Amino acid sequence: MMKAAVWHGPSDLSIQDVPRPSPSEGEVLIRTKAVGICGTDLEIYDGRFKQSKPPLIIGHEGGGVVEAVGAGVSRLKKGDGVVVSGLLYCGECEYCQRGQYGLCDHGRVLGIIGAQGEYAEYFVAPEKNCHLLPDKVTWPEAGLVDTLAGPIHGFAKIKSVSGSSVAVFGPGPAGLFFCKLAKLRGASRVYLIGTRDNRLAMGKKYGADLLLNVNRGDPVKAIREDTGGRGADIVIEAAGSHEALNDGLNVLKKAGDLLIYGVFGGGLSSVDVMPIQLFEFTVFGSCGLDYPSAIELIGSGTVSVKELISHTFTLEELPEAFSSRFIVDRRDEYMKGVVLFE
């Protein structure tokens, strides 16, 4: 048996004793060391992420030490430290054959859709989803590999960044990573837009040139003025907000690139799509992950993640952290939480 955080429905998360899983062919059993708390976990907890079905062990941004290996496992061995991409894919459908694993016809996601997750003392994962963790990357840092892997995958869709202006909506960890990636790729001007001053303040450390709080001014007007009326060359929606998406469409220059990265939970809302047609915007979606690049950027020190870890929790503390709304409402100075295991 093992302890795990099991979600039974909206606002119902508890620590339970559940059977410890065993690795099937091609899988490894992992003794959990760290799991990052993702915004999607919060959507699931509140019942807004409709694709998730209880009972479910949530959590999908972590890793640990290989405890046992199933038949056919050849690359990993007991004692290896790994981080795990939660996107489970078949490897055989047309999308997998093109390397678009996030679009797999038979895809599942650890702790989200069709597979038990990582807020547990142990979990199983396919060997192909496991990436060796360098010694220079600490376990708390490992809890942010997934958070960086998504923006890397998404930003790669936009081919021309050097010399461009980039507007990032949403100053959470993903938005901050987008700012850093934009600067690494030669962006001339980076705007970070949000509602929380403590999160916006982090933007300077990650390359943002201008911080815009929507509660104190119109970001569309500010960016238009700063660009001589042209607007931003690239807009990244990383907030999962319909209001932010509308602002992004209104501030994007003609023939500009729009990347939609944020997760839009809840019901439908009004988004004015007319500018996409009138101004010939190119729109990208993104749900993939680039773990190797994220591990390299963190391990080399090119992208620092330590500053974003505002809180750490034990597994036993997780239900209270969720039910108290501390994490759900991003209270106080909360930026990114990591659940740490012994």
* Domain final position from 243, 268, 285: 285
Average pLDDT over residues 286-310: 96
Rounded mean pLDDT, 227-246: 96
Minimum mean pLDDT among 70-84, 165-179, 253-267, 305-319: which range? 253-267
Q: What is the pLDDT, as a whole number, of residue 272? A: 87
Boundary of a domain, candidates 265, 285, 305: 285
Q: Check whether 268 has a pLDDT greater than 60.
A: no
Domain co-membership, 145 together with 52: yes
- Residue 145 shares a structural domain with residue 293: yes
Give me the CATH number covering residue 188: 3.40.50.720
pLDDT at 329 over 90: no
- Give the total number of structural domains in the chain: 2
| Whether residue 133 sits in one domain with residue 165 | no
Residues 16-38 have pLDDT tens digits of 999 999 999 999 999 999 999 99
Q: Is the pLDDT of residue 239 over 80?
A: yes
> pLDDT tens, 154-202?
999 999 999 999 999 999 999 999 999 999 999 999 999 999 998 999 9
Query: In the predicted model, is pLDDT for residue 278 greater than 70?
Result: yes
Q: Are residues 182 and 273 in the same domain?
A: yes
DSSP 289-327: --HHHHHHHHHTTSS--GGGEEEEE-TTTHHHHHHTSTT
Residues 6+ apart with CB under 8 A from 63: 30, 32, 33, 34, 35, 81, 82, 83, 84, 130, 133, 139, 142, 145
pTM of the model: 0.94
Look over the chain and give the mean of its residue pLDDT values, rounded to a whole number.
95
The residue whose two tokens read 């989200």 is: 112
CATH number at residue 47: 3.90.180.10
**Are the CB atoms for 318 and 340 separated by under 8 Å?**
no
Do both 35 and 71 map to the same domain?
yes
Q: How far apart are CA 228 and CA 221, in angstroms?
A: 11
Residue 265 has pLDDT above 70, yes or no: no
Which positions ≥6 away from 204 have C-beta within 8 Å? 211
Q: Report the pLDDT value the prediction gives residue 261, as an integer from 0 to 100.
A: 95
- 269 and 248 part of one domain: yes
Return the pLDDT at 178.
Answer: 98
Please say which residue of 269, 285, 301 terminates a domain: 285
Based on the fold, state whether residues 329 and 246 are members of the same structural domain: no
Say what the pLDDT of residue 266 is. Answer: 59
Could you tell me if 88 and 178 lie in one domain?
no
- Under 8 Å CB-to-CB from 161, ≥6 apart: which residues? 155, 182, 185, 186, 187, 234
pLDDT of residue 326: 77
User: What does the alpha-carbon distance between residue 161 and residue 283 come to, in Å, rounded to a whole number?
Assistant: 15
Per-residue confidence band for 56, with pLDDT thresholds at 50, 70 and 90: very high
201 plus 321 within the same structural domain: no
- 64 and 29, same structural domain? yes
Average pLDDT over residues 231-255: 96
Same domain, 45 and 137: yes
> pLDDT per residue over 101-149, tens digit each?
999 999 999 999 999 999 999 999 999 999 999 999 999 999 999 999 9
Give the pLDDT confidence score for residue 325 in this predicted structure.
78
189-194 β-sheet, strand order: 210-213, 189-194, 165-169, 232-237, 252-260, 282-285
Q: Is the pLDDT of residue 330 over 80?
A: no
The per-residue pLDDT for 331 is 62
> Domain range spanning residue 210?
158-285
Residues in the chain, overall count: 342
Query: Strand 282-285 vs strand 252-260: parallel, antiparallel, or unpaired?
Result: parallel
Does 97 share its domain with 119?
yes
